[in-house]
Amino acid sequence: MYNASTLKTNLLSLIGWRQNLDPAGTQLLKMTTSDSGMFFNDEHPLLNFDMLFSLAQDFTNITPTTWSGATAYVVGDLVTKTSIIYECVSAHENQTPPNATYWRVMNLFSVWIQNQTMGSAIRAVQKWIGKKTDLGTSRNLLERSTLFTQTGNVSDTHTSENKVVGLEILPARFKGLKVKIISVGTQFDANENPVALKLFKSGTLTANQTLNVNYAGAGSVQWDTVDWELDPEGSYLLCYDEVAITASAINGVKDYTRYWQGLQYFPSGRYFQATAFNTGESISALWDLSTNIYTLSTNYGLNLKLWVGCDYTDLISEQKDQFKTAISKQVAIDMLQLIGNNPSAIPNRFANIVDWDKIQYIVNGERSQSGLMKELNDAIESIQFDMTDIDPVCLPCRRRAVQIDVIG
């Protein structure tokens, strides 16, 4: 699992394209810098600016939407004003271009080559993940857990103390793990509309998520689907204010609490822990967490379904330099295939020098013993990570323990 949009942003400046040497011609407005010092053009002489420009589709008849002061723009949106194309660089509404804070001049060739390049970069990442999956050294889905596997007895209610109450969730501190709340369960002795739930993260003053539950279960548990991602840092507090509701929470702990050596424990999984709490503070903003009083005797009518999976987004972003060779080879292969196929069927002055068979030889080499494809596979094989703090379930190829063998 990975977030392709985040990776595209983080990989954007890893390798660059060389700028058009003709200052009067079309200029690239993105991807001209290289954090690694590598440039895609160096992979093969055919990957020069003129060749790529001649290959791209004809943009003269493509005009983005005319700028409007009534439209809310997000990063990446394209507009035209006075025959100039602008790209949004900061979300806003009613900021007239040109305005460097919100807009920058853009040309569609820059957009085209960036999209082609980033698509190939993600393809290289996917090949690496696919390779590790084939070898059994990476995993996808790990766990789906429900905090309380059954609902509480409808006659066992929690008496309101007019406090802020809820559950504190502590995700496991492993890199490569992604924990999500996928459903929130509520259980009260009467219908309640609404129950205002808030999810706070320690260290953040405002609520990360809010959910107004229209509880109509009348004693039964009611599940509401959410998609709340929990970072593996800090703790999360899902809570509501008892003062704001008239129904009583049904206690789901009494039947399902775990006991061990006379001690009582809240349910937990390998990748998270949860504990009920109450506090006299307001939930208009994050409060002083030292005022929390923790309890094992009630869950305040709340339950959770959590999803845990492997996510390589941060891992790849932090160590993206390991991918530079593989990405460079993949981009070169895809661009050369594009040159050979000429899918837009655009007549150009380079058409006579493009030989399909030669391009295939450049890409695939002699009996797979040479060529860019072999170089790509070698680059993927050679990727080595610093896997400190990475859970071995996500990348079980880690071997840190002392190896014991029998000498015969």
Does pLDDT of 17 surpass 80? yes
Q: Please tell me the distance from the alpha carbon of residue 370 to that of residue 223, in angstroms, as a whole number.
A: 56
Q: Please tell me the distance from the alpha carbon of residue 177 to that of residue 394, in angstroms, as a whole number.
A: 7
Are the C-beta atoms of 371 and 333 separated by less than 8 Å?
A: no
pLDDT of the residue at 343 = 62
Residues 6 or more apart in contact with residue 80 via CB below 8 angstroms = 63, 64, 65, 66, 67, 86
Q: What are phi and psi of 178, to 5 degrees?
A: -125, 125
Burial call 335-365: b when 16+ CB within 10 Å, e when fewer: bbebbbebeeeeeeebeeebeeeebeebbbe
Tokens at residue 284, please? 């208009």
- pLDDT tens digits along 296-313: 888 999 999 888 877 788
Does pLDDT of 256 surpass 60? no
3-class DSSP assignment, residue 121: helix
DSSP class of residue 209 equals: E
Does pLDDT of 106 surpass 80? yes
DSSP class of residue 240 equals: E
- pLDDT tens digits along 53-97: 888 877 777 778 999 999 999 988 989 998 888 989 999 999 999
pLDDT of the residue at 407 = 43
Q: How many CB atoms lie within 10 A of CB 221?
A: 19
Structure confidence at residue 351 as a pLDDT band (50, 70, 90): low
Tokens at residue 227, please? 């998609």
Query: How far is CA 284 from each of CA 19, 119, 226, 240, rounded to the nearest angstrom?
Result: 52, 43, 21, 11
Tokens at residue 297, please? 């005797």
Are the C-beta atoms of 68 and 88 separated by less than 8 Å?
A: no
pTM: 0.65
Does pLDDT of 257 surpass 70? no
Location of each CATH 2.60.120 domain in the chain? 142-310
Percent of the chain's residues with pLDDT above 70: 81
Spell out the CATH class of 142-310: mainly beta
Does pLDDT of 396 surpass 60? no
Amino acid in the structure at residue 11:
L
Which stretches does DSSP call E strand in 253-376?
258-260, 263-265, 272-279, 293-295, 302-310
- pLDDT tens digits along 117-154: 999 999 999 888 877 765 555 555 556 677 776 566 66
pLDDT of the residue at 380 = 87
pLDDT of the residue at 348 = 58
Tokens at residue 77, please? 């949106």
